[in-house]
């Protein structure tokens, strides 16, 4: 079902006349994302080795652990990881339910 083709013909036109509208909207959304990332106070200001910005004695593994388990202001890593696991379970469940055996 998910990867098998069916014999049903869809009524869609691959040469849609509104392709230019899709291009304009896509470019506008892309420009908004680039602008928002540029003016964000959390944007990366320097390019280089990420470990060079950390204090001595703290490596990236320690920093990830601090972000995961410390109640700081910008501690969004743990909720993000929980959401990613929930979405992964939902995707696998949808594939299992949608399969024809």
For 2-30, the pLDDT digits (tens) are: 556 666 666 666 677 788 899 999 999 99
Please indicate, yes or no, if residue 61 is contained in any of the structural domains.
yes
Please indicate, yes or no, if residue 12 is contained in any of the structural domains.
no
Please indicate, yes or no, if residue 14 is contained in any of the structural domains.
no
Which class for 15: exposed (0-12), middle (13-18), buried (19 or more C-beta within 10 A)? Answer: exposed
Structure confidence by residue, pLDDT tens digits, 66-87: 777 777 656 677 778 889 999 9
Query: What is the span of the domain harbouring residue 91?
Result: 19-98
Please indicate, yes or no, if residue 1 is contained in any of the structural domains.
no
Please indicate, yes or no, if residue 5 is contained in any of the structural domains.
no
Please indicate, yes or no, if residue 29 is contained in any of the structural domains.
yes
Please indicate, yes or no, if residue 48 is contained in any of the structural domains.
yes
Q: How many domains does the chain have?
A: 1
């Amino acid at each position: 079902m998910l990867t098998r083709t069916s014999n049903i013909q869809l009524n869609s036109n691959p040469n849609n006349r509104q392709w230019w509208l899709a291009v304009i909207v896509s470019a506008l959304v892309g420009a908004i994302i680039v602008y928002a990332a540029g003016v964000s106070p959390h944007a990366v200001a320097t390019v280089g080795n990420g470990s060079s910005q950390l204090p001595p004695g703290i490596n990236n593994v320690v920093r990830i652990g601090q972000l995961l388990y410390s109640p700081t202001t910008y501690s969004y890593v743990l909720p993000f990881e929980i959401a990613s696991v929930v979405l992964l379970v939902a995707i696998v469940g949808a594939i299992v339910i949608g399969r024809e055996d």
